[in-house]
Amino acid sequence: MPTADSVSVFAEGTFEEQIQELVDYATRSSPGDERATASQSFRDIIKPAEGAKPIEEDQERKRNALTFVLDQTKSLGDGSEQEIEGYFNLLFSHLLTLWPTNSPEIKHHVSSLLDVLTSSPSEHSSVRYRVISNLFNATPRNSALRLPIYTALLKVAANNGELHTLRLSKKDIEQWLQEWDISGEERSQFLKSIVDAFIQSDQPETAYHHTLSYVSSLPSSSPESQSAAVDAIALALRLPSLFDFDPLFKLDAVVSAQDHELFSLLQVFFNSGLPELNSWLESHPAALEKYELDRAQLERKIRLLSFASLGFAHVGHDLPYSEVASILQIELSEVEKWAIDVIRTGLLSGKLSQTTQSLHVYRSSARTFEREQWEALEKRLVAWKAGLASVLEVVTSAQKRGNGSGAGEAVQQVTQTGESVQVDAA
């Protein structure tokens, strides 16, 4: 959230003088006769009836006077950025003072002002950020008004390609949603607006992470849940650097969409390979265009995931090029290129050997971590334990003999075990 210092250039004087200044500014660019009419209308509002209280003591007349100014506010006005910021800051100050923040009147007025601020020319983007930020910071932390205010800020930033200026974090979002007095439906809608803003700003990776929060916020029985789940699956499949699909399967809305065609494609990426992908694509010829998927990109992703799964089964051992070529359905001469690619993604780490035509796997990611993966991990732990026991025997024997050869032998023994127990889920 960008910080901004409040600048109130109209803050001096009595209430009547301040509102008169606001009226003059709001009508500055109007024709002379319209300015005169507006000025007279304002004087009629503030003119006390015989025996009436002064306007400073008359809440209703103060509200009527400010409402008149709000009705005149159709744009940022014809002024400098300092004047624009000061005008809206003073307007917001009186608005938050004259009406409770949960009243229908203030919701209406804030909505109208946000429309003005989000539809104004782009050359005033910096002052609009400050003005909307000032309003956000001026409202109570638990106020429902913060929802439309921040949504407006998102709109301005996304429309100007400057979403990064908000420095929006997941921590901030979670805190706000806990504080704001809003409904579950409004929470979901706010999360959706964040997703849309990042999609509009061509930041699909960030949008995907917020999509998970959005889908999670929807009741699985709601009409929007399946559509949102399908959109989340499609976005995950489109992202070339996303290989961890496990968070999707933890969402009730996604699991509830198991009868949808895209769910079966997601399962292919979760635990199958290239043959299953090709079979699915043959059975769903219209899917690529329908969900904006790229076949070459899908094939690359499934090959990399298959490579990582193969590597997981060979951690601590040599993986022959021929086996990689067979699983990935590529030429033997292409294996090293794919090995470099999978290492760059972080799915696997190892050392290539042209002499032995193999890849020694140090570490590899599992697409899922279920019974089969736990059993593989157990075997590695047992082998590692046995290797450590052998090392301990060598060191103990060397100590008994009273010579220094034990350390070298122990290192050799560790090298010979060749096992690694470091595993990751993709």
Whether 10 shows a pLDDT value over 50: the answer reads no
What is the spatial distance between Cα 230 and Cα 226, in angstroms, rounded to a whole number?
6
- pLDDT tens, position by position, 170-196: 999 999 999 999 999 999 999 999 999
What is the spatial distance between Cα 360 and Cα 419, in angstroms, rounded to a whole number?
11
What is the spatial distance between Cα 195 and Cα 209, in angstroms, rounded to a whole number?
9
**Region at 213 (left for phi over 0; alpha for psi -120 to 50; beta for the rest):** alpha
Confidence category of residue 310, pLDDT binned at 50, 70, 90: very high
What are phi and psi for residue 361, nearest 5 degrees? -90, 120
Q: State the average pLDDT over residues 222-229.
A: 91
State the pLDDT at residue 42.
86
Contact between 8 and 93 under an 8 Å Cβ cutoff? The reply is yes
- pLDDT tens, position by position, 402-421: 655 555 555 455 444 444 44
What is the spatial distance between Cα 404 and Cα 264, in angstroms, rounded to a whole number?
61
State the pLDDT at residue 378.
55
The burial class, CB within 10 Å (0-12 / 13-18 / 19+), for 337 is: exposed
Nearest to 109 by CA among 141, 76, 77, 148: 148
The β-bridge partners of 349 are 363
State the pLDDT at residue 282.
97
Whether 51 shows a pLDDT value over 80: the answer reads no
Q: How many residues does this entry show for the chain?
A: 426
State the pLDDT at residue 391.
74
Q: What residues have CB less than 8 Å from 175, skipping those under 6 apart? A: none
State the pLDDT at residue 385.
67
- pLDDT tens, position by position, 136-165: 999 999 999 999 999 999 999 998 888 998
State the pLDDT at residue 203.
95
Q: 34 vs 404, which has greater pLDDT?
A: 34
Whether 77 shows a pLDDT value over 80: the answer reads yes
Whether 122 shows a pLDDT value over 90: the answer reads no
